Amino acid sequence: MYIAEPLSRNKIRHIAHQVKCLFGLQNTLYVPVEQVLERMHLVVPDAHFEIVEYDEMGAETHGVTSVTERCIKIRSDVYEGACSGCGRDRMTIAHELGHFFLFLLYGVSFCRTIEGASLPTYRNPEWQADCFGGEFLIDSSLVRGMSVNEVVEKCGVSSAAARCQLSKI
């Protein structure tokens, strides 16, 4: 099991905003996540991404991040979906970007847990990456006061993601 440094939603919100700034995307409602992947190397030397065929990655894995390799691998159909504006696929890429930047900044550790013990949410790398993805694609400072439908349309996300993010503002 992996365990991450403790991070609050507010801290992750701040990090997501800083990463958007690195790519010149502050005050941008529709974040072009595929372009962020393509330009990762401009802000992190040796960073790159790979498009991996469905057969190689499998049905259950949509993306994988390795900070040691400085690589994000995205399944080909997910990448194509994101390029076509599919909210779920865009969020998958934002989630992997979250893993990449949060691991790069804070690292991650292995931990041994007692059977039945749960990991605190704020130390769960998957929750942190989900949180980053939501904040990266749905900037709380830009969507405050919008309806779910407006967020879906302007940010290019699913209605589930829009509802979730709006509930956290």
Average pLDDT over every residue of 125-133? 96
What values do phi and psi take at 48, rounded to 5? -155, 170
Q: 108: which strand partners?
A: 4
Average pLDDT over every residue of 6-26? 96
**Mean pLDDT over all residues of the chain?**
93
pLDDT tens, position by position, 91-115: 999 999 999 999 999 887 666 665 6
How much of the chain exceeds pLDDT 90, in percent? 86
What is the sign of the dihedral through the CA atoms of 70, 39, 141 and 159?
negative
> What's the confidence (pLDDT) of residue 117?
67
> What's the confidence (pLDDT) of residue 4?
86
DSSP-derived letter for residue 48 is: E
pTM (2 d.p.): 0.94
In angstroms, what CA-CA distances link 54 with 30, 62, 93, 146?
A: 27, 9, 16, 36
